[in-house]
Amino acid sequence: MHLAKTKKERVFIYDTTLRDGAQTEGISFSIEDKTEILKKLDSFGIDFVEGGWPSSNPKDHEFFEQAAKLKLSKTKLTAFGSTCKHGTPADKDDGLKALADCCAEYICIFGKAWDFHVGVALNIPLKDNLKMIEDSVRYLKGKSKKVIFDCEHFFDGYKGNRDYAIAVVDAALRGGAEWIVLCDTNGGSLPDEISAITWEVLRDREGMNVGIHCHNDSDLAVACSLAAVGTGARMVQGTINGIGERCGNANLCSIMPDLAIKMDHDIGPVDLTKLTALSAFVGETANMSPHPGLPYVGERAFAHKGGIHVSALAKDPRTYEHISPEKVGNKRKILISDMSGKASISTKLKEFGISGEDKDNKEILKRIKELEAKGYQFEGAEASFELLVKRFRHDFVKPFDVRGFRLYIDEVGENDIVSEASVKVADRHGNIEHTASDGDGPVNALDGALRKALARFYPVLNTIRLTDYKVRVLDEKAATAATVRVLIRSTDGKDSWTTVGVSQNVIEASLLALVDSMEYAIIKHESCGNKK
């Protein structure tokens, strides 16, 4: 097996988020979504972006019409489709005509490379499938298109009937395909199988451009893609955040830094320092937040909780980080919990720009452990932790106090429930404001009343909104007397922060988290004002 590679050899990145990624359960990109993602991928430096299948639905057809108006600087927009239908000549096939007529310079078509699929799914003679592949590629070439051919189910096909799978590759080459992409469509192959088979395909075909397309059904899509590159593949297909049908596709957010940083390959004009932002953008647009544990780009990718780890990191980050988080646009995160030590507290204080004495750090650590024993969780609520630390300082003055609140829940009609909250607050100078607000529920009403009352003193709160609200029952056996933990995520449109409240009363827990959120927003705003 040949596993050697030439240092800094060019590997092309092919993104199929807008086509394969759109097949993810729960994702439905609008034309506007696809256009914005395409522009973001172009700005990031992706070589190829597969925009969709023009003849499959009106939305993709309209998307390509819109995309034709864009001036892409780095990306080659690619259209996707299949070979001609059995019994229909390539030049008469409506699907191929749509591909030939679309604005894309590159066309990616797929054909069956597994004899089992040809017989069962297509139910046609094996030789007819080969002719369909060759004729389809040749037709598109005749229309001045550059063709990428995806050998669907190639690795399963190779393992089942090597000669036929190779015959599919040769048919596409005879037609004039620029790239041959070997697909592990069912995601069941192992990295050593991918490596060995890719080498067999390349061995007697000098100069052939080979790509790899892996699915993640065995949780090996990234490993298999890298194995193929290690053997000679020079294009990697995948999606941002690994989204895709079933278990997803190979995750380009892992593959790109692996190729560039670990394997020292040239991946073109890609700017890896924008990778985390790209991951977040696609996740937000897809309305599917990326998993926080994703390598490189996840919120937890460089998060450290154990005190021993943090102590070592303070001496040299290489002790517990395989790369600098800044290389991929991420950042180190020190988590504060009952597992923390003094080093964790000191590091966190420095992160907040706060200088603290060792004596203070011990008291803060003691207080954290007391609160976490009651159910608090600061590793997911850094804004509440920062406020806790500030409250230990003698120069800190709370911006406001809640002097009292009431909740009213009335039934209107047969099925409608209306919530109203009344709140009395005082600012740091003792000025009082007493007001009320309706809401969709008691917490929403309480949020509205608190914001309304405080906005008189702190107008910045008019720009703050809640983006997430989570309730966790900490002791289910206690039934209705159980302690609950409430986490609230807030944003000012630029930054986001999370606060926490704990109580046996869900309303009180919510109020504690709400108060922290607004107090944090005020202090953050005032701090920015002082800097200016």
- For position 190, which CATH number holds? 3.20.20.70
Range of the domain at 345: 303-373
Please indicate, yes or no, whether residues 329 and 206 belong to a single structural domain of this protein: no
Residue 1 pLDDT:
42
Please indicate, yes or no, whether residues 328 and 430 belong to a single structural domain of this protein: no
Give 107-157 as a 3 state SS string.
EEEEEECCHHHHHHHHCCCHHHHHHHHHHHHHHHHHCCCEEEEEEECHHHH
User: In sequence order, what are the beta bridge partners of 524?
Assistant: none
Query: Please, is 532 exposed, middle or buried when counting C-beta atoms within 10 Å of its C-beta (0-12, 13-18, 19+)?
Result: exposed
Residue 291 pLDDT:
86
Please indicate, yes or no, whether residues 72 and 201 belong to a single structural domain of this protein: yes
Residue 290 pLDDT:
76
Question: Is residue 290 one of the residues assigned to a domain?
Answer: no
Question: Is residue 415 one of the residues assigned to a domain?
Answer: yes
Please indicate, yes or no, whether residues 63 and 83 belong to a single structural domain of this protein: yes
Virtual torsion, Cα 421, 521, 372, 343, nearest 10 deg:
180
Please indicate, yes or no, whether residues 230 and 99 belong to a single structural domain of this protein: yes
Please indicate, yes or no, whether residues 41 and 130 belong to a single structural domain of this protein: yes
Total domains in the chain come to: 4
Residue 204 pLDDT:
84
Question: Is residue 74 one of the residues assigned to a domain?
Answer: yes
107's tokens: 């066309």
User: In sequence order, what are the beta bridge partners of 182?
Assistant: 151, 212
- Strands (E) across 372-523 are located at 400-412, 416-427, 432-439, 465-473, 484-491, 496-503
3-state secondary structure of 264: coil
Q: Where among 409, 424, 457 does a domain terminate? A: 457
Residue 483 pLDDT:
86
Containing H/E element for 238?
strand 235-238
Q: Where among 414, 441, 457 does a domain terminate? A: 457
Please indicate, yes or no, whether residues 325 and 267 belong to a single structural domain of this protein: no
213's tokens: 């397309």
CA-wise closest residue to 461 among 397, 403, 382, 515: 515
Q: CA-to-CA distance for 332 and 72, rounded, in angstroms?
A: 34
Question: Is residue 383 one of the residues assigned to a domain?
Answer: no
Residue with tokens 């099925």: 415
Report the percent of the chain where pLDDT is more than 70: 88
525's tokens: 């705003």
Containing H/E element for 52?
strand 48-52
Residue 102 pLDDT:
93
Residue 340 pLDDT:
52
3-state secondary structure of 263: coil
Q: What is the DSSP letter of 179?
A: E
What's the whole-model pTM score?
A: 0.70
CB 476 within 8 A of CB 451: no
Query: Please, is 511 exposed, middle or buried when counting C-beta atoms within 10 Å of its C-beta (0-12, 13-18, 19+)?
Result: buried
Which stretches of the chain score pLDDT less than 70? 1-7, 306-308, 310, 334-361, 379-380, 394-395, 411-415, 475-481, 529-532
Please indicate, yes or no, whether residues 148 and 78 belong to a single structural domain of this protein: yes
Residue 320 pLDDT:
80
